[in-house]
Amino acid sequence: MSEIDPAKQAYETFAGVYDEFNSANDYEMWFGALLPPLEALGLRRGALLDVGCGTGRAIAPMLRRGWTVTACDISAAMVEKAREKFPDGVTFDVRDMRELPVYGSFELVWALNDPVNYLLGDDDLDAALTAMAANLAADGLLVFDTNTRRLFGELFGGADDEDMNDDSRWKWEGRGGDGTLFEARISGERIEPHLHRERHRSVEEVQAAMRAAGLTPLAAMGQSESEAGLALVDDWDEDRDHKIIHVARHA
């Protein structure tokens, strides 16, 4: 790919403050809600491939649960931050999720906190799903989340500027979109202003791409957050939920 990928460009810029910006994200709470339904779908503890690992914030909770972890991200700067946290025991690589090598055979391959939404091209999702599926064990699970219309409306809609992380050092400015592609600008302390571009994909579109990649969709669970905490339910609603958690395995 000759042009600089927009996601790579954004996260190379964002890496230096990413953990501070997202400090309120509680991965233990998230995994406490997410892992039991995955286990009900047949998840077995073993090896995890963390695609779009960012600065590695999802790694420690999985290591504590007895998983071995291989992790990759399109941004070298983000991977370097992750390596600083885990200098030993975790294998890292700088890779585009559309062009993953076969690292091995994993009980769990996931791409969490919306890396799939950064796939902007019509064929990008097919490529990423095919690459991730090639790393799945025969009975392994592929898990990833996508943002809903509600979340795009709230954070990218452009009606108001958001201090998305409740920290006045940085500003998240939603710039709207055309219903499919959306854009936001982040600016503030210790970072150059830069753009994040994401694409909304319907459940029907995602599941069709799964089947084309030789995967069987198992679940599309709705996730929402409020002052009461995180809710994860068996069904989904684009106007109720913030994210949809997709689960699949080999057909």
pLDDT digits (tens, 9 = 90+) for 139-194: 999 999 999 999 999 999 875 544 455 678 999 999 999 999 999 999 999 999 99
Q: What are 74's strand-pairing partners?
A: none
Percent of the chain with pLDDT over 90: 91
pLDDT digits (tens, 9 = 90+) for 3-31: 789 999 999 999 999 999 999 889 999 99
Domain 6-147+201-250 belongs in CATH node 3.10.129.10: no
pLDDT of 1 higher than 50: no
pLDDT at 166: 64
Asked if 175 and 156 count as a contact pair (C-beta separation under 8 A), the reply is yes
pLDDT of 122 higher than 90: yes
Mean pLDDT of the chain: 95
Q: Tokens for 213?
A: 């990649």
In terms of pTM, does the model score above 0.75?
yes
pLDDT digits (tens, 9 = 90+) for 66-89: 999 999 999 999 999 999 999 999
CA dist 222 and 230 (Å) reads: 11
Q: In what order do the strands lie in the sheet with 170-177?
A: 161-162, 170-177, 181-188, 191-199
Task: Name the burial class of residue 63, with classes exposed (0-12), middle (13-18) and buried (19+) by CB atoms within 10 angstroms of its CB.
Answer: middle
Provide the residue ranges of all domains of the chain, joining segments of one domain with +: 6-147+201-250
pLDDT digits (tens, 9 = 90+) for 28-41: 999 999 999 999 99
- The average pLDDT across 188-205 equals 97
- pLDDT band at residue 2 under the 50/70/90 scheme: very low
